[in-house]
């Protein structure tokens, strides 16, 4: 059995038909985690006994003729920013996680109700603040394609677990690229739904209120959409939740195709780009054009990098999360760069600064509205560089030059709340995955879903990135 070679829908159907036991799927996941996690450090907590008991209950339901749900028996990992009942939510920080969560988040509850079996929690940078899944509490998650490189972040534990075949599904969240970046780094397809599609309510307010979108991660867009089919829809505790879409997201894959006219922007107007990433993305865009789609190249989407406004928002959000920790003995154990951002926000960022950053989001979106009057999809690189070396502490190499902001392509589309996906379209000379980003108009998730499925076929995704090999050389 290899989760990377069998679709989630196929696995669940075999469980529902009694051809494969849920215990077999969960047992395989736990064995795979036991074998590989010491190398990759994707998981930070396991719930093996309960997972096997849940799988047994699913098998009993099948034997009794009861429907166990559309995701019956599918092992699920939960990112450690999200609550799963009975497991501690640490946020990757020594400042959190004094006891197990009393209840599931809305997303985890919906996935469990559909038949998923939670097997454990995956690693994240402290409070999900950066694109390198590393923290003082659990250490760094490494890339399954080459363990000398990082898995990306902040959903790096989830992405690495899927790419290594530990689990077929995991939860993620994306406040600046945190689903798309690790998906690109680990060679899987990642989707950031429109803000409000997947509920992020609950007893406490969302950490990054206007930026972060929850989602489900899988190897292919079909796997992701099959899980999102049960996850999307409103929740009364989420102020931003959108009505449930009338159309079936899974059915959208039946007529998957790229729009007749798309835009391609290699730099967004401001981003330096590594030559190997550019070459892989250009080959994919040329394949799009060869398929009959009209491609319009945009030299500039925005005049400048909106990183200052994005940082204003995220620093204040982090201050809110860590305000009570500042000045306590635990403060010395917070990531020094995160602590510096929080201190800066506390001492220098005003309420007016915060509102002006929100105004910048509005202006960014106005430009997208203009672009999407002419095209139905925007293509960009997902990341400016291949997955960075772990030894560089999260800095990428753009044509050999170290650059910590190798993720300039993703956070603008959190600011605009746009649906966006990353599809693996190539590999670097070192064998590391390279992603192409697909961005849709406001709330046009189905356009992005259909396009991602069509792109997977167009670039030969199954041959390009069939499995990740766990070795320092990547061989």
Average pLDDT (430-434) is: 96
Per DSSP bridges, beta strands 433-439 and 378-381 are: antiparallel
Digit-coded pLDDT (tens) for 104-144: 999 999 999 999 999 999 999 999 999 999 999 999 999 99
Digit-coded pLDDT (tens) for 316-335: 999 999 999 999 999 999 99
Q: How confident is the model at residue 255 (pLDDT cuts 50, 70, 90)?
A: confident
Stated pTM of the model? 0.97
Per-residue pLDDT at 469? 67
Instruction: Find all residues with CB under 8 Å of 137, minimum gap 6, and list them.
Output: 44, 90, 92, 93, 94, 126
What percent of the chain is modeled with pLDDT above 90? 94
Average pLDDT (2-30) is: 97
Average pLDDT (379-388) is: 98
Per-residue pLDDT at 466? 61
Digit-coded pLDDT (tens) for 44-62: 999 999 999 999 999 999 9
Average pLDDT (281-301) is: 98
Digit-coded pLDDT (tens) for 137-146: 999 999 999 9
In degrees and rounded to multiples of 5, residue 42 shows phi and psi of -80, -35
Does 248 have pLDDT greater than 80?
yes
Digit-coded pLDDT (tens) for 146-165: 999 999 999 999 999 999 99
Average pLDDT (167-190) is: 98
Digit-coded pLDDT (tens) for 263-272: 999 999 999 9
Q: For residues 144 and 473, which has the higher predicted lDDT (pLDDT)?
A: 144
In 279-358, DSSP assigns E strands to 294-297
What's the burial of 359, exposed, middle or buried (CB within 10 Å: 0-12/13-18/19+)?
exposed
Per-residue pLDDT at 472? 45
Does 473 have pLDDT greater than 80?
no
Per-residue pLDDT at 471? 52
Per-residue pLDDT at 294? 98
- Assigned CATH class of 8-464: alpha beta
Per-residue pLDDT at 247? 84
Active-site positions?
Answer: 79, 154, 178
Report the run of H or E that residue 345 belongs to, with start and end: helix 336-348
Q: How confident is the model at residue 463 (pLDDT cuts 50, 70, 90)?
A: confident
Report the run of H or E that residue 174 belongs to, with start and end: strand 169-174
Average pLDDT (362-390) is: 98
Digit-coded pLDDT (tens) for 337-373: 999 999 999 999 999 999 999 999 999 999 999 999 9
Looking at every residue in the chain, the average pLDDT score rounds to: 96
The b/e string for 87-123 (b: 16+ C-beta within 10 A; e otherwise) is bbbbbbbbbbbeeebeebbbbbbbbbebbbbbbbbbb
């Amino acid at each position: 059995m290899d989760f990377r070679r069998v679709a989630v829908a196929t696995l669940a159907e075999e469980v529902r038909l009694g051809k494969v036991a849920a215990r077999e799927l969960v047992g395989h996941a736990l064995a795979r985690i036991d074998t590989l996690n010491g190398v990759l450090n994707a998981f930070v907590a396991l719930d093996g006994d309960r997972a096997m008991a849940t799988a047994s209950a699913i098998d009993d339901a099948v034997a009794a003729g009861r429907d166990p749900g559309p995701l019956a028996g599918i092992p699920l990992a939960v990112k450690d920013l999200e609550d799963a009942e009975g497991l501690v939510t640490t946020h990757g920080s020594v400042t959190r996680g004094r006891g197990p969560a009393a209840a599931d988040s809305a997303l985890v509850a919906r996935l469990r109700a559909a038949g998923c079996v939670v097997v454990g929690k995956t690693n994240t940078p402290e409070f999900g603040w950066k694109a390198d899944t590393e923290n003082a509490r659990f250490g760094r998650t490494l890339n399954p394609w080459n363990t000398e490189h990082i898995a990306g972040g902040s959903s790096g534990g989830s992405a690495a677990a899927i790419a290594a075949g530990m689990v077929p599904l995991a939860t993620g969240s994306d406040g600046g690229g945190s689903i798309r970046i690790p998906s690109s780094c680990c060679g899987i397809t990642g989707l950031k739904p429109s803000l409000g599609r997947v509920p992020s309510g609950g007893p406490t307010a969302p950490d990054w209120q206007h930026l972060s979108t929850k989602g489900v991660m899988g190897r292919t867009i079909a796997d992701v959409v099959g899980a999102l089919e049960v996850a999307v829809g409103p929740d009364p505790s989420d102020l931003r939740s959108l009505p449930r879409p009338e159309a079936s997201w899974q059915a959208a894959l039946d007529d998957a195709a790229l729009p007749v006219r798309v835009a391609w922007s290699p730099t967004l107007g401001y981003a330096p780009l590594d030559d190997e990433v550019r070459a892989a993305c250009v080959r994919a865009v040329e394949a799009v054009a060869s398929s009959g789609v009209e491609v319009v190249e945009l030299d500039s989407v925005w005049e400048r990098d909106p990183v200052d406004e994005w940082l204003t928002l995220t620093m204040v959000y982090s201050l809110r999360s860590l305000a009570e920790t500042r000045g306590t003995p635990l403060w010395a154990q917070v990531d020094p760069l995160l602590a510096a951002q929080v201190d800066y926000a506390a001492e220098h960022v005003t309420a007016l600064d915060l509102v002006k950053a929100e105004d910048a989001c509005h202006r960014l979106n106005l430009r997208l509205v203009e672009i999407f009057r002419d095209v139905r999809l925007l293509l960009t690189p997902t990341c400016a560089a291949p997955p960075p070396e772990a030894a560089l502490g999260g800095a990428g190499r753009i044509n050999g030059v170290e650059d910590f902001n190798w993720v300039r392509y993703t956070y603008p589309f959190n600011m605009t709340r746009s649906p966006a996906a990353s599809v693996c379209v190539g590999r670097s000379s070192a064998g590391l995955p390279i992603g192409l980003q697909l961005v849709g108009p406001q709330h046009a998730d189905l356009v992005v879903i259909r396009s991602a499925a069509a792109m997977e076929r167009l670039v030969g995704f199954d041959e390009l990135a069939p499995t990740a090999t766990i070795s320092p050389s990547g061989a």
